[in-house]
Amino acid sequence: MSSLSPPAAVSASPAATGTGTASTIILAIAAFVIVTTEFLMVGLLPALAADLNVSVSAAGQLVTLFAMVVMLFGPVLTAWLAHWERKRLFLGVLLLFAASNAVAALAPNLWTLAIARIVPALALPVFWGTASETAAQLAGPARAGRAVSTVYLGISGAMLFGIPLGTVAGATLGWRGAFWALAALCLLVAVLLQVLMPTMAPGKRVRLGEKALILKDPFFIGNVLLSVAVFTAMFTGYTYLAEVLEKIAHVPPAQVGWWLMGFGAVGLAGNWLGGLWVDRKPLATTAGFSALLAIGMAATVALATSRPALVLALAVWGVANTALYPVCQIRVMKSAPKAQALAGTINVSAANGGIALGAILGGASIPLWGVGSVGVVGAVVALFAAVGAGLVGRLGRSAMR
């Protein structure tokens, strides 16, 4: 398979390489801010629901709204904007996030807050599709996977620090103060990006219909469906991990947050390993980490009563879970070398569909078979994903004949 596209306007000189590394780190920090903005709402729901005089369940629909907007509008918007010069595009996204977070902080009612959430949801998939491609271009084909995994460290950082710290900020500054802090952080990252990132040559304007030709490629579609299966498996269990820790492992509620932070910390190793291996064999790497995910999820519920065994099982789960974020993104982009930004965004949309499906699947299994079933059901889906990776590989080999 073709590797990710070479740089469009950045040379491979040592100076350019250093600039590319700095730019990739800034993109990772931007990813941290963006993912924190996306998921911070979960920790702020009780406070903002009380302040806006709505139920927690009604406020919770803002999370669903965000995911649905990402899923439905991401590919079209990315195809429309992918030809923009990337530095200008990223600055625009960060300024949009800063403004939307400020509007959220000032929101007098749920409807205004919903609008403040829709706007960044429109920009998020544009960022992910183009940031992944830009990091790969800046790094060059030999280091593309590692560069994309570096950007994806922003996800791990948000899960590990951003969301918990944002929740703490919400408790001390109020939920509006948390959004003000995020707005300020977006502006700071925009300044850093303006200073450190080189200007890149604008991409060639390609009509959406031309880019959408990848949707006729069975190998590309197979890779996208594989991502749906992987994220369904991941979020069948992860959505209810806190409940598993409380109800089965009998972790005190006050300690659950620390366990989740540990889960995210271990996952940093998975992010690095995924980026290291995916360049060579993307489908085999997907299959391997999907199988590892199945083992970790099933072992967590089976060994939950033993603390040492639980720690080991969660470590396996955490490594596989975090590795699959960049692995899926890189794999799908590699399957569409002529439309990588659109491919990356379609993968983000597919991932959001898988997240929603996993949450539904896990939620449906709990009343039927108990909380522990989320680990087993998730493991089964993960094994199907591992087998599916082999089937997609056959599609690729058939296409090359």
For residue 209, the model assigns a pLDDT of: 61
For residue 176, the model assigns a pLDDT of: 92
For residue 26, the model assigns a pLDDT of: 87
Q: Give the span between the Cα atoms of 109 and 287, in whole angstroms.
A: 46
Q: Give the span between the Cα atoms of 27 and 137, in whole angstroms.
A: 13
For residue 364, the model assigns a pLDDT of: 83
Q: 19, 9 in Cβ contact below 8 A?
A: no
Token reading at 57? 């369940």
Residues of the chain with pLDDT under 50: 1-16
In sequence order, the 6+-apart residues with CB closer than 8 A to the CB of 158 are 31, 32, 35, 36, 39
For residue 105, the model assigns a pLDDT of: 93
Q: 32, 151 in Cβ contact below 8 A?
A: no
Torsions phi, psi for 4 (to 5 deg): -65, 155
Query: Model-level pTM?
Result: 0.72
